[in-house]
């Protein structure tokens, strides 16, 4: 745990090999493909084009799916708990498909996933390698230590110093959301897939309201992760409630 904390503090990233087993990995791939097809259909209907990304995949595939099991039994939870130092919720969860020679103005430029810079631990990014991340199939590039500086590096500075996230399928990368990174170019014929999610403190607004997925039978942990315990009231009747019935629970920050 201490070594992990030092790597996240100094480098901004740590990669854990062989976290996801073969059977779970295969099911995640299948469900990611289903979510991708559903998201692409909606993109095309609404005239938007994100050919490499299926956003908010648990809104496409959820109950009785590998995504449900993944979040209910969050991999590396003890490391994330230690890093965050308090409660957190899911901000986004997407599947990325990096196919041959695909380029995106958004994913292939150096960027941070936190748009405002705060030198405190407000969020963490997680990448699950659904396929091997190799030198040639578009592995994510990152600039070690860039989370420690408020100013963004120039493109030249980034690409001169960037390293690749490399590892076998089933590995997981945890990294500071302020770490500057970029999608890589896949020059192979095989699509390289991954699941990416961001976790942050409950008082930060999420991109999507996942709390609507919660059912009474879900674990208290899953309710917490999906933001059910940090909802905001919409009516005065919801606002004026005793503590045990309030939508934003105590201790959320």
Domain boundaries, the chain: 2-245
Pairing of strands 163-164, 192-200: unpaired
The HSE-up count of residue 3 (CA atoms within 13 Å, CB side) is: 3
Structure tokens at 205: 């607004």
For residues 195 and 183, what is the distance between their CA atoms, to the nearest angstrom?
A: 13
Q: How far is CA 109 from CA 17, 19, 98, 174, 221, in A?
A: 26, 29, 14, 20, 35
Instruction: Name the residue among 141, 158, 29, 144 with its Cα closest to residue 96.
Output: 29
pTM listed for this prediction: 0.93
> pLDDT tens-digit profile of 86-130?
999 999 999 999 988 776 555 678 998 877 788 788 999 999 999
CATH superfamily of 2-245: q2cbj1_9rhob like domain (2.60.120.620)
Residues 167-180 have a mean pLDDT of: 96
> pLDDT tens-digit profile of 10-30?
999 999 999 999 999 999 999
> pLDDT tens-digit profile of 77-86?
999 999 999 9
Q: Which residue has the higher pLDDT, 135 or 117?
A: 135
Max mean pLDDT among 3-7, 108-112, 209-213 falls in: 209-213
Structure tokens at 225: 């992760």
């Amino acid at each position: 745990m201490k070594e992990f904390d030092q790597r996240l503090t100094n480098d901004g990233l740590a990669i854990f090999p062989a976290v996801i087993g073969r059977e779970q990995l295969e099911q995640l791939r299948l469900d990611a493909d289903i979510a991708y097809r559903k998201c692409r259909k909606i993109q095309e209907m609404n005239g938007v084009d994100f050919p490499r990304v299926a956003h908010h995949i648990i809104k496409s595939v959820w109950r009785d799916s590998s995504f449900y099991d993944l979040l209910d039994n969050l991999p590396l939870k003890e490391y994330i708990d230690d890093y965050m130092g308090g409660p957190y919720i899911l901000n986004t969860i997407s599947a990325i498909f990096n196919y041959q020679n695909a380029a995106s103005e958004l994913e292939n430029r150096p960027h941070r996933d936190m748009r405002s810079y705060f030198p405190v631990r407000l969020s963490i990014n997680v990448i699950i390698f659904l396929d091997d991340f190799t030198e040639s199939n578009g592995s994510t590039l990152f600039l070690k230590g860039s989370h420690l500086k408020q100013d963004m590096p120039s493109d030249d500075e980034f690409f001169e110093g960037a390293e690749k996230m490399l590892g076998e399928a089933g590995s997981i990368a945890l990294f500071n959301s302020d770490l500057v990174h970029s999608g890589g170019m896949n020059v192979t014929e095989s699509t390289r897939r991954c699941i990416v999610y961001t976790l942050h403190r409950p008082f930060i607004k999420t991109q999507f309201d996942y709390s609507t997925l919660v059912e009474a039978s879900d674990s208290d942990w899953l309710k917490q992760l999906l933001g059910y315990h940090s909802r905001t009231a919409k009516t005065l009747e919801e606002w004026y409630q005793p503590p045990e019935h309030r939508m934003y629970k105590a201790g959320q920050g």
